[in-house]
Amino acid sequence: MTSPTSSNPPPPRGVWPSIAPYVVPPVAASAAIVPAFYDMVAKSAMQKGMPAPSMTFKTVLQGVKGGFGASPTVGSMVGSQMVLQSRVEQALVKTFPNLFAEDSNKAKTSLTLASSAAVGGLSSPFLAVYNGKTMIPPWSVRESLSKFSLKQAGAITLQETGFVAGLAAADLVSVPMKQMLGDNKAVEYSAAAVAGTFGSLVGHAGNTALTRWQNGMTVDSPRQLSWGALRKARGNAVFAVVYKLGKEVLNSTVEGEK
């Protein structure tokens, strides 16, 4: 007598559910950078000691245009970071189970920070290219890579530890916020904005050092490291919210095909 399982095997998964974990993050990131890019251009100007571009229809339109131009680079970069971070976390848990395998917020936070630092270091050349695209006028890939150095890689690692951790921590941040404010979409997206803002501020000093070093400038005082922080934080908050929205929309189509 055959079992129900053998006589009624589950239907094979479609192509989209199989590739979605690798496609959703870069597509969502590609969309998220467009509304955030104007603030990224403004923060780079401020980090160099220049005034931010005035917010006029023309400059905002230029920012949107620049966002579309940077979209493929940012989508590939952030998408790869999110996929790579998952693999790095699995490797860390397997290698250091006493540190990261415990099911607690402290262990999860430590794992997120460690994996974010590793991913930031590995992706530093790509981040240098992206930061070059926020210059006025935007730099080419070759120009950014020709100026890349180990010092810049260190600054990028600091920056990305905060940024990637912020994106990855959005769900963790939403837990206490839901307990205090209620379980709804508004709280979830507010948590994403908070996580994006916090991650941006944590890594901003590294990003400022990167921008100044890329332009042949030095960091002469700790105060300089805060230049452009609020503009970048706003841009990252917008990015985090749109990124979360994009993932949810795309993942809902995956659920529909299962």
30, 239 Cβ separation under 8 angstroms: no
Domain count of the fold of the chain = 1
Residue 228 pLDDT > 80: yes
Domain assignment of residue 7, yes or no: no
Domain assignment of residue 238, yes or no: yes
For residue 182, the model assigns a pLDDT of 83
How many Å apart are CA 243 and CA 115, to the nearest integer? 20
Domain assignment of residue 1, yes or no: no
Share of the chain above pLDDT 90, in %: 35
Q: What is the mean pLDDT of the chain?
A: 84
For residue 169, the model assigns a pLDDT of 64
Domain that residue 156 falls in: 15-218+227-251
Domain assignment of residue 258, yes or no: no
Domain assignment of residue 42, yes or no: yes
Alpha helices per DSSP H over 133-184: 141-146, 150-168, 170-181
Close Cβ partners of 118 (under 8 Å, ≥ 6 residues apart): 88
Domain assignment of residue 110, yes or no: yes
Residue 136 CB coordination number (10 Å): 14
Tokens of 78: 């952030």
Domain assignment of residue 173, yes or no: yes
Q: Is the pTM of this model over 0.85?
A: no
Each residue's pLDDT tens digit, 20-69: 888 888 999 999 999 999 999 999 999 999 998 887 888 888 888 888 98
Top-confidence range, 113-117, 175-179, 183-187, 218-222: 218-222
For residue 245, the model assigns a pLDDT of 93
How many Å apart are CA 133 and CA 135, to the nearest integer? 5
pLDDT band at 152 (very low <50, low <70, confident <90, very high): very high
For residue 217, the model assigns a pLDDT of 96
For residue 3, the model assigns a pLDDT of 44
